[in-house]
Amino acid sequence: MKVLVTGAAGFIGFHVASRMLVDGHDVLGYDGVTPYYDVTLKRRRLERLLDSDGFSFSEAMLEDKLALESAATEFEPDVIIHLAAQPGVRYSLEAPEAYVSANLVGTFNLLEIAKQVKPRHLLIASTSSVYGANETTPFRETERTDFPISLYAATKKACEAMTHSYAHLWKVPTTCFRFFTVYGPWGRPDMALFKFVSAILDGEAIDVYGEGQMQRDCTHVDDLVEGVVRLIDTVPREGSPVEDESVTDSLSPVAPWRVVNIAGGKPVGLLDFIEAIEAATGKKARKNLLPMQKGDVTTTFADPSLLKALTGFVPSTPVSKCAQDFIEWYLSEYDAG
Ligand SMILES: NC(=O)c1ccc[n+]([C@@H]2O[C@H](COP(=O)([O-])OP(=O)(O)OC[C@H]3O[C@@H](n4cnc5c(N)ncnc54)[C@H](O)[C@@H]3O)[C@@H](O)[C@H]2O)c1
C-alpha cells in the first residue's frame, strides 16, 4: 500500500509512518518542519524514517498547494493520513493566524488534492478539544461539539466539517480521529509530560494549572498508532453503520464519513500524573499551583465504544507506562544529544 503521511516529522506522524514502514508499506512523508518547537527533534525523527528504503520525504508547507499537489499526484497514494497541523491549545491564544493558515487553508489544500487523487481512504486528525465546554462525560462522537473554547478547537471542528462536505460531494471516504492527550517516546516539548520531566530532572519547579484539578484521558502513542492502523481498513461506507446495536455510529447519513475517538476512557488526575512521573524519575516535583489557563478544559474523558465496535481495540496502557517509556527515551536519546 502507498501511504501519504502529512506531519511525518511530528510526534504522531513519526510513529504512524514508522509503523507503516514496519508493516511493509511505502510511505511518503510531507511536512514543513515548522519552528513551533525544537526543529532538531523533528530532523532527528526524519533521519530515523529516512533509514528505511520505503520512506521518501517532501519538505514543504501545506499552504504550498503546488508542492502538495505535485508530491501527491506523483506518489498516487492509496491512503492519506493527514496529521500535519498547528497543534496546541495555549499557543492558539498567542498566534491564532498559524491555526487559520495550517489547519484551515492547509486542510482545504489537502482536500482539493484528495478530490483529484481519490485515495481509498482519507484519515485526518481531530482532537478531544472539540468537545469544548461539554459537561456530559464520557464524550461520545454523536454529541454536539458546537461550543469550542479555543481557536485550536474551532479550527479542528472546522476541519471535521470541511472533510464531511468533500466526502459527500466527491465521495472520498473519510475518517476523522479525535485524539486525546497522547504521550510516549519522541514526544512534543510543548506538552505537559515533556515539560514536567525536563523540569523535574533539572530540579526546577513545575507549573501546575487548574490547581492540579484537571483530568486527562491519556493515550500511549503505541496504542494510538494501533487504533489508527486498524481504522485504515475500516473504510466508512454510506448506509453501512457498525453492526453493534449497543453503539451509536457517527457515520454520516449522506457521505462515507465518520468521526472516532481514539482513547481508553480512563481519565487521570493531574496530580496522579505527576506522581507517576515522580515514581519513574525517582525525584519529587516542586509544584507551582496556578489557576486554569484560558482555553483549557477541565476534563477530557472519551467513550471508546465506537472504536471498540469498529476495530475490537481499546487503548489500555496505563499512564505510568507512558511516563516510563517517555523518560527512558528522554534520558537515552534526547537529553544525551
Ligand atoms: N499529540 C496530541 O496529544 C494530540 C492530541 C489531539 C490531536 N492531535 C493532532 O494530531 C496531529 C499530530 O500532532 P502531533 O502531536 O504529532 O504534533 P506535531 O506538532 O509534533 O506534528 C505536526 C507536524 O506538522 C507539521 N506542520 C505544522 N504546520 C504545517 C504546515 N502548515 N505545513 C506543513 N507541515 C506543517 C509540523 O512541522 C509537525 O512536524 C495534529 O493534527 C494535532 O492537532 C494531537
**CA 37 to ligand 1: nearest atom:** 19
166 catalytically annotated: no
Residue 261 clears pLDDT 90, i.e. is over it: yes
Residue having the nearest C-alpha atom to atom 19 of ligand 1: 10
Which has more confidence, 304 or 295?
304
Determine the pLDDT at residue 145: 96
Residue having the nearest C-alpha atom to atom 31 of ligand 1: 102
Query: Of 172, 151, 152, 153, nearest to 163 (Cα)?
Result: 172
Q: State the Cα angle at 174 between 177 and 253, rounded to 5°.
A: 105
Q: Cell numbers for 13, please give them.
A: 506522524
DSSP H or E stretch at residue 125: strand 121-127
Q: State the Cα angle at 16 between 221 and 237, rounded to 5°.
A: 105
pTM reported for the whole predicted model = 0.98
Contacts of 74 (CB under 8 A, 6+ apart): none
Mean pLDDT of the residues in the chain: 97
Bridge-partner residues for 121, per DSSP? 79
**What is the SS3 assignment for 78?**
coil
Residue 283 clears pLDDT 70, i.e. is over it: yes
Q: Which candidate in 36, 37, 152, 183 is catalytic?
A: 152
Helix then strand then coil, in percent of the chain rounded to 5, is 45, 15, 40
- DSSP-assigned letters across all residues of 185-247: TT--TTSHHHHHHHHHHTT--EEEGGGGT-EE-EEEHHHHHHHHHHHHT----TT---S-TTS
**CA 106 to ligand 1: nearest atom:** 31
Instruction: Give the Å distance between the CA of 244 and the centre of ligand 1.
Output: 33
Q: Cell numbers for 116, please give them.
A: 483529484
Determine the pLDDT at residue 135: 86
Instruction: Give the Å distance between the CA of 96 and the centre of ligand 1.
Output: 15
The answer to whether residues 231 and 179 touch, using CB atoms and an 8 Å cutoff, is: no
The answer to whether residues 300 and 294 touch, using CB atoms and an 8 Å cutoff, is: no
Instruction: Give the Å distance between the CA of 6 and the centre of ligand 1.
Output: 9
**CA 101 to ligand 1: nearest atom:** 31
Instruction: Give the Å distance between the CA of 98 and the centre of ligand 1.
Output: 12
Q: Cell numbers for 128, please give them.
A: 478531544
- pLDDT-based confidence at residue 2 (cuts at 50, 70, 90): very high
For residue 68, what are the CA distances in angstroms to 4, 79, 174? 11, 15, 19
Query: Of 151, 112, 313, nearest to 225 (Cα)?
Result: 313
Mean pLDDT on 185-211: 96
- pLDDT-based confidence at residue 133 (cuts at 50, 70, 90): confident
Q: Using CA atoms, how far apart are residues 126 and 230, in angstroms rounded to an integer?
A: 17
Determine the pLDDT at residue 337: 56
Query: Of 327, 288, 322, nearest to 220 (Cα)?
Result: 322
